[in-house]
Amino acid sequence: MAQLQNLPLVKWMMRHPRLAAWIILSVGMVALLVIEARDVGLLATQWAALVIATVLVAGACVWIISWEDSDEADADAAAADTATEAAAEGATPSDTGASS
């Protein structure tokens, strides 16, 4: 597993997880779009519009999913603040109701 983390692409994905997720989801969604709509007879401009809309929807999906990340970070920060305040007052985290 450590060898995979040394690959340049994996390093980039670790530094930019949302952008990487957007790219991967976009590629998958566009591939499904092309497979399902190949026999419909769309014009080139219609294909372009569908591909652009699909990429934007993938970006919106990743953005919405990232809302949970910020909720968890806010909850972790609040728990850390409660534990810090309890330690400053001499109480244990279990006295304040904070969980670890």
At 32-59, the pLDDT tens digits run 999 999 999 999 999 999 999 999 999 9
Could you tell me the CA-to-CA distances from 73 to 20, 24, 76, 78, 79 in Å, in that order?
Answer: 20, 24, 5, 9, 10
Selection from 70, 64, 69, 97 nearest residue 82 by Cα:
97
Between residues 4 and 25, which one has the greater pLDDT?
Answer: 25
Single pTM value for the model:
0.65
Could you tell me the CA-to-CA distances from 39 to 32, 36, 42, 51, 56 in Å, in that order?
Answer: 13, 8, 8, 16, 23
Give the tens place of pLDDT for each residue, 17-34.
999 999 999 999 999 999
Residue 79 has φ and ψ, to the nearest 5°, of -65, -40
- Domain around 78: 4-96
| Total domains present in the chain | 1
